[in-house]
C-alpha cells in the first residue's frame, strides 16, 4: 500500500492549497498516471489533472513528483515510492496553479511564440522537397522531439528568479530553427536570442536536461545556439563578452582572473556599466570576497595553452 500525498487546490472552495493523502495498492506495472486515474475514478472524482495520450508524446500529464517535474504516464509508479512508501504530487512549478495539478500554461506558450517558431525559408519553394543531408537533419532532430510538456520550464532555476527568461523549452524550439539548413534568418535569430532574457541568461545548471522526458535536452540546445552566435560574431552583449573574457583569461593564465571578468563582460569602455559595478564591488570587499588583485598564472600554463591551440585547430 502506497500513500499518494497530493497537493489540492480549488479556489472556488478555499483560497489556500493543502495536501491530501490517498492510499492505493499500486497495481503491477502501473504508471504514475494509471495510479492517478485509479484515485480519480475510485476515490475522489474531483481531483483534476491533464492527460491524453498516455504514451509520452502529447505532453499533457507533466506534474511534480517528489519535487521534480516528470511525465506521469512515462514513469512506473513503483520507482517513485520513497522510503516512507509515499509519492508526493504537486503541480508544475514556475506556472500559476488553476486547480489541483492543473497549471496555467499561458506564459510558457507566449514565450515559445516569441522565438518566431517557424521556418523562414531561404528561397522560393522548389517543385519538390528542399534537400537536406542526414547530417543537417541530425542537427535539428533532437530539438524537434520537444513535446511542450513544460517539465523543463517547471524546474528551471533561472525562471524561479527571473520571469523574463525565455526558458528552456522556447530556447530549444529556437535551436530547431537556428540549426535548420533551410532557414534564412540564422543571424537575426541568434541576435534576438542574445538579448536579455535569452541564451546568456541561462545559469547552466542543467536541471532542464535532467527533467526533459525526450531527447530535446534544452541546455544542450542552448549551448548550440551560443556556439552559432559566437561563430556569427554576435559578441556585442554581456553574455557573449562574459564567455569570451572567461575563455581568454583561462587561455592566458590557465586560471580564472575574476578581476578581469567584470570589465570584460561589461566592455572596457562602457563607463556607465563599469560604474554600476562599484556598489557590488564594495560589498564584496567588505565581505572579503574580492579575489587577489595581483594576477598569477598556474605552473602548467603551457599545457593549457597547448590544449587551446589544439582545440583551435
Partner 1 sequence: MIEHDVVIVGAGLAGMRSALEVCKELDVAVLTKVYPSRSHSGAAQGGIAASLGNSEPDSWEEHMYDTIKGGDFLNDQDAVEEYVKAAPRIIYELEHMGCVFSRTPDGKIAQRSFGGHSKPRACFSADRTGHAILHALHEQLMKNAKSVKIYNEWYMHSLVVDGDRCNGVVVSNIQTGDVEVIRAKAVIFCTGGYGRVYKITSNAFASTADGVMAAFQVGIPLEDPEFVQFHPSGLYQQGILFSEAARGEGAYLLNGKGERFMETYAPSRMELAPRDIVARAEQSEMDAGRGVNGEDCIHLDLRHLGEARIMERLPQIRQLAIDFLGIDCVTDPLPIQPTAHYSMGGIPIDKEGHVIVDADQTKMQGFFAAGECSCVSVHGGNRLGTNSLLEAVVFGERAGKSVLKYARGKDFGNVNEGQEKAKVLEKFEDIFQRDGSVSYNDIREEMKEIMMTHCGVFRDEEKLKVCIETLKGLQERFKRGKVTDKGKLFNTEIYEIMELGNMLSMAEIIAAAALYRQESRGGHFRTDFPKRDDEKFLHHSLVYDSPDGFVIKTKPVVITKYQPAERTY
Identify whether the C-beta of residue 96 lies closer than 8 Å to the C-beta of residue 157.
no
Q: Which of 15, 16, 83, 127 binds partner 1 (CB under 8 A)?
A: 127
Chosen residue from 96, 118, 276, 291 binding partner 1 by CB under 8 A = 118
Interface with partner 1 includes 46 (CB under 8 A)?
Answer: yes
**What is Dmax (Cα atoms) for the chain?**
70
Does 122 contact partner 1 by CB under 8 A? Answer: no
Min dist. Cβ of residue 182 to partner 1 (A):
7
For residue 69, the minimal CB distance to partner 1 (Å) is: 16
Of 4-12, 244-252, 260-268, 275-283: span binding partner 1 (CB under 8 A): 4-12
**137 lines the binding site for partner 1 (CB under 8 A):** yes
Strand partners, 68: 65
Which H helix or E strand runs over 283?
A: helix 278-286
105 is a site residue for partner 1 (CB under 8 A)? yes
**Quick one: 122 or 306, whose CB is closer to partner 1?**
122
Contacts 24+ apart (CB under 8 A), 224-228: 224/139, 224/175, 224/178, 224/179, 225/171, 225/174, 225/175, 225/178, 225/190, 225/193, 225/199, 226/199, 226/200, 228/178, 228/179, 228/186, 228/190
Residue 5 belongs to what H/E stretch? Answer: strand 2-10
Please list every residue from 170 through 229 that binds partner 1, using CB under 8 A.
176-177, 180, 182-183, 215
Choose between 119 and 187: whose C-beta lies nearer to partner 1.
119
Closer by beta carbon to partner 1, 218 or else 254: 218
Instruction: Kindly tell me which residue out of 1, 29, 286, 311 binds partner 1, with binding defined by CB under 8 A.
Output: 29
How many other CB atoms sit within 10 Å of the CB of residue 288?
6
**CA nearest 136: which of 169, 174, 182, 188?**
182
Identify which of residues 176 and 241 has a Cβ nearer to partner 1 in the complex.
Answer: 176
Give the residue from 91, 119, 86 showing the smallest Cα distance to 4: 86
- Does residue number 31 form part of the binding site for partner 1 (CB under 8 A)? yes
Instruction: Report the DSSP pairing between strands 68-71 and 14-24.
Output: unpaired
The nearest distance, CB 47 to partner 1, in angstroms, is 8
Q: For the chain, give the number of residues.
A: 313
Nine-digit cell string for 288: 572579503
Residues at the interface with partner 1 (CB under 8 A): 10-13, 29, 31, 40-42, 44-46, 48-60, 74-76, 98-100, 102, 105, 109, 112-113, 117-119, 121, 125, 127-134, 136-137, 140-141, 144-145, 147-148, 176-177, 180, 182-183, 215
Amino acid at each position: 500500500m502506497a500513500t499518494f500525498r497530493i497537493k489540492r487546490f480549488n479556489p472556488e472552495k478555499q483560497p489556500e492549497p493543502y495536501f491530501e493523502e490517498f492510499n492505493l495498492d499500486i497495481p503491477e506495472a502501473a504508471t504514475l498516471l494509471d495510479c492517478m486515474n485509479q484515485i480519480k475514478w475510485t476515490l475522489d472524482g474531483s481531483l483534476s489533472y491533464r492527460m491524453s495520450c498516455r504514451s509520452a508524446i502529447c505532453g499533457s500529464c507533466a506534474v511534480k513528483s517528489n519535487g521534480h517535474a516528470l511525465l506521469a504516464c512515462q514513469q512506473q509508479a513503483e520507482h517513485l515510492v520513497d522510503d516512507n512508501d509515499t509519492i508526493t504530487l504537486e503541480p508544475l512549478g514556475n506556472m500559476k496553479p488553476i486547480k489541483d495539478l492543473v497549471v496555467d500554461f499561458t506564459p510558457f506558450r507566449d514565450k515559445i511564440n516569441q522565438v518566431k517558431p517557424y521556418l523562414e525559408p531561404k528561397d522560393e519553394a522548389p517543385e519538390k522537397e528542399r534537400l537536406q543531408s542526414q547530417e543537417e537533419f541530425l542537427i535539428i532532430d533532437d530539438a524537434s522531439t520537444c513535446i511542450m510538456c513544460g517539465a523543463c520550464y517547471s524546474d528551471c532555476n533561472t525562471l524561479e528568479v527571473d520571469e523574463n527568461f525565455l526558458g528552456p523549452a522556447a530556447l530549444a524550439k529556437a535551436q530547431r530553427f537556428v540549426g535548420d539548413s533551410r532557414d534564412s534568418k540564422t543571424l537575426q535569430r541568434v541576435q534576438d536570442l542574445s538579448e536579455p532574457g535569452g541564451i546568456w541568461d541561462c545559469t547552466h545548471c542543467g536541471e532542464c536536461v535532467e527533467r526533459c522526458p525526450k531527447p530535446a535536452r534544452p541546455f544542450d540546445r542552448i549551448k548550440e545556439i551560443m556556439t552559432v552566435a559566437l561563430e556569427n560574431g554576435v559578441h556585442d552583449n554581456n553574455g557573449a563578452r562574459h564567455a569570451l573574457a572567461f575563455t581568454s583569461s583561462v587561455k592566458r593564465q590557465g586560471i580564472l582572473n575574476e578581476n578581469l571578468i567584470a570589465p570584460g563582460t561589461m566592455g572596457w569602455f562602457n563607463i556607465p556599466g563599469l560604474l554600476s559595478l562599484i556598489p557590488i564591488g564594495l560589498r564584496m570587499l567588505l565581505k572579503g570576497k574580492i579575489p587577489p588583485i595581483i594576477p598569477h598564472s598556474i605552473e602548467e600554463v603551457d599545457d593549457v595553452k597547448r590544449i587551446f591551440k589544439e582545440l583551435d585547430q
